């Protein structure tokens, strides 16, 4: 079947519906959604029963980049600084040094067992050097498994921040493959520029985005997620334009925004959570359509050797060396090594050699696809088993307990006070979002002209208003008075 204007919407919506329905299987049997979505795409492709003709790596790469923007940004918004701060150094070490060591060690192995040049080998190693957070935690949730101490935020931070490093390495070694006369030293400035500029740009765009979101006056709540989407793409494209790493920039920007007070923040978070799921499905389906299973079969042998080396040697080498200077129990290091799940990101990165037209591009793409597939099948289906075996897992709360905790969290605070706002108060004519309100207190209602208003972050407090404030304790109420006066 050829994709035309007449049937692309119908075919796409049917594939989405099938993916969502079949995706429920992953929570029952622990099968990663990645496998299911890829499988549906392959079945619908030219080698499958669907017969959809799709062989355009340029379109696939474009869809991949757009999808990764949403996935990384959503992950950044959900990253709580309070949980990440204690393990910041470990996470950054894994996402930088760990990725580099994984790429180099795997590249050396590929060089010795294939006829690849050293730069082609390093290119392959770089493409598969990052992990897939979405698949990892979907399986952890499906098995009702929580992780001890700071393991979960460590893995979240690494998974969210290691794609930029893998991307930079991929572009660097692809440049060396194309330009054989250049040496390794020639790409080091590009590596440093990408990471430094990307990091700085992400932080600056985060601060600018916060000001824009809170200061702009939009007539409809539903426009705020649209505004954030535009800011996300501006951050990515502008950072890439000035020579920085756009993926790193949007992740840092999102982490910053996720830990700030924003107008309609919950609406923004819910919208991006849904969009991230949509982008994951679209991305996996697209990559499934792009893959020709008959072309992968000849590389099963070499692909399996490389995949096993990556899982049992290259990934542990990267983890143990990068974490060598930190105090951490050995069982935790082993588990982090095992959670080296490769997903859709390496397949997206593998389209870069295809578009560059290098000699072994097709071979690299098919090997990378097989590596991702086997990684998800071997590691993805055993994450909970290994966690229990290493004694780093804890049973999650039952649904009843979670509901009880949720109800408890909804109970009003223990201290309440009505605060009258005079003309001389600094809170007068100020938006709630701009007050710097204490975290341990909330404005439950605002009494204005004998009417009660439900406050929002964009609500402007007027002189003469009476604020009904709830807090955890009397000290919190004292902090509120200092804030508004």
Classify residue 236: in a domain, yes or no.
Answer: yes
Is 208 in the same domain as 122? yes
Residue 331 pLDDT more than 60? yes
Long-range contacts, 228-233 (Cβ 8 Å, 24+) = 228/257, 228/268, 228/272, 229/275, 231/205, 232/69, 232/70, 232/73, 233/69
- CATH number, domain with residue 227: 1.20.1530.20
Section 337-357 average pLDDT: 89
Is 378 in the same domain as 479? no
Is 350 in the same domain as 466? no
Tell me what pLDDT residue 176 has.
92
Section 290-297 average pLDDT: 87
Section 268-296 average pLDDT: 86
Q: Give residue-wise pLDDT tens across range 363-373.
A: 999 999 999 88
Is 75 in the same domain as 186? yes
Classify residue 148: in a domain, yes or no.
Answer: yes
Higher pLDDT among residues 12 and 140, named by residue: 12
Centre a 10 Å sphere on the Cβ of residue 7 and count the other Cβ atoms it contains. Answer: 13
The first and second tokens of residue 273, run together, are 């959570």
Residue 175 pLDDT more than 70? yes
Tell me what pLDDT residue 154 has.
86
Classify residue 193: in a domain, yes or no.
Answer: yes
Classify residue 400: in a domain, yes or no.
Answer: no
Is 160 in the same domain as 294? yes
**Whole domain around residue 159: which residue ranges?**
5-395
CA atoms within 13 A on the CB side of 302: 21
Is 374 in the same domain as 444? no
Residue 349 pLDDT more than 80? yes
Q: Which of 360, 395, 430 is the last residue of a domain?
A: 395
Residue 259 pLDDT more than 80? yes
Residue 468 pLDDT more than 80? yes
Is 201 in the same domain as 257? yes
Classify residue 152: in a domain, yes or no.
Answer: yes
**CA separation for the pair 23, 36 (Å, rounded):** 7
Tell me what pLDDT residue 382 has.
83
Tell me what pLDDT residue 137 has.
57
- CATH number, domain with residue 421: 3.30.70.1450
Section 415-430 average pLDDT: 82
End-to-end alpha carbon distance in the chain: 68
Tell me what pLDDT residue 198 has.
93
Q: Give residue-wise pLDDT tens across range 107-151.
A: 999 999 999 999 999 999 999 998 876 666 556 555 555 677 788
Q: Which of 395, 425, 446 is the last residue of a domain?
A: 395
Classify residue 97: in a domain, yes or no.
Answer: yes
Average pLDDT, the chain: 83
Tell me what pLDDT residue 56 has.
86
Residue 409 pLDDT more than 50? no
Is 325 in the same domain as 420? no
Tell me what pLDDT residue 249 has.
94
Section 25-54 average pLDDT: 70
Q: What band does 23 get if pLDDT is binned at 50, 70 and 90? A: low
Section 177-193 average pLDDT: 85
For the ranges 54-58, 202-206, 461-465, 479-483, the maximum mean pLDDT occurs at: 202-206
Q: Which of 368, 395, 422 is the last residue of a domain?
A: 395
The DSSP secondary structure of 182-198, one letter per residue, reads --GGGGHHHHHHHHHHH
> How many domains does the chain fold into?
2
Classify residue 185: in a domain, yes or no.
Answer: yes
Residue 354 pLDDT more than 80? yes
Is 300 in the same domain as 429? no
Is 436 in the same domain as 329? no
Q: Which helix (H) or strand (E) holds 363?
A: helix 361-375
Is 390 in the same domain as 426? no
Is 210 in the same domain as 268? yes
For tokens 């989407």, the residue is: 229
């Amino acid at each position: 079947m050829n994709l035309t204007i007449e049937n692309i919407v119908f075919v796409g919506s049917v594939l989405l519906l099938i993916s969502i329905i079949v995706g429920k299987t992953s929570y029952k049997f622990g099968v990663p959604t990645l496998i299911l979505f890829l499988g549906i795409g392959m079945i619908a492709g030219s080698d499958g029963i669907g017969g959809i003709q799709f062989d355009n790596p340029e379109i696939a790469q474009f869809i991949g980049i757009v999808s990764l923007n949403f996935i990384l940004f959503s992950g950044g918004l959900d990253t709580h600084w309070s949980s990440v701060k204690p393990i910041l150094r470990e996470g950054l070490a894994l996402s930088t040094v760990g990725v580099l060591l994984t790429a180099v060690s795997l590249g050396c192995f590929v060089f010795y067992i294939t006829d690849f040049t050293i730069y082609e080998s390093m290119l392959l190693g770089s493409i598969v050097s990052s992990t897939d957070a979405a698949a990892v935690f979907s399986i952890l949730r499906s098995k009702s498994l929580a992780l001890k101490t700071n393991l979960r935020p460590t893995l979240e931070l690494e998974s969210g921040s290691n794609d930029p490093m893998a991307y930079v390495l991929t572009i660097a070694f692809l440049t060396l493959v194309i330009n054989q006369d250049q040496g390794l030293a020639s790409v080091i400035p590009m590596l440093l520029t990408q990471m430094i500029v990307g990091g700085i740009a992400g932080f600056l765009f985060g601060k600018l985005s916060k000001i824009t979101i809170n200061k702009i006056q939009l007539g409809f709540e539903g426009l705020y997620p649209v505004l954030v989407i535009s800011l996300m793409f501006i951050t990515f494209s502008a950072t890439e334009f000035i020579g920085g790493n756009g993926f790193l920039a949007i992740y840092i920007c999102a982490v910053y925004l996720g830990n700030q007070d924003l107008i309609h923040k919950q609406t923004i978070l819910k919208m991006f959570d849904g969009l991230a799921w949509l982008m994951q499905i679209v991305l996996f389906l697209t990559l499934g359509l792009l893959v020709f299973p008959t072309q992968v079969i000849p590389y099963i042998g070499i692909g399996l050797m490389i995949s096993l080396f990556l899982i049992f040697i290259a990934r542990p080498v990267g983890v143990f060396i990068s974490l060598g200077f930190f105090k951490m129990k050995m069982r935790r290091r082993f588990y982090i090594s095992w959670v080296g799940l490769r997903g859709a990101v390496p397949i997206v990165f593998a389209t870069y050699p295809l578009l560059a037209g290098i000699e072994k591009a097709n071979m690299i793409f098919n090997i990378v696809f097989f590596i991702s597939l086997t990684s998800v099948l071997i590691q993805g289906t055993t994450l909970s088993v290994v966690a229990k075996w290493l004694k780093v897992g804890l049973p999650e709360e039952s649904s009843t307990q979670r509901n009880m905790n949720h109800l408890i969290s909804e109970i009003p605070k223990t201290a309440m006070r009505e605060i009258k706002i005079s003309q001389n108060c600094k809170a007068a004519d100020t938006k709630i979002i701009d007050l710097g309100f204490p975290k341990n207190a909330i404005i439950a209602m605002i009494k204005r002209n004998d009417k009660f208003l439900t406050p929002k972050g964009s609500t402007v407090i007027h002189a003469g208003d009476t604020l009904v404030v709830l807090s955890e304790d009397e000290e919190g109420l004292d902090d509120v008075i200092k804030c508004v006066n």
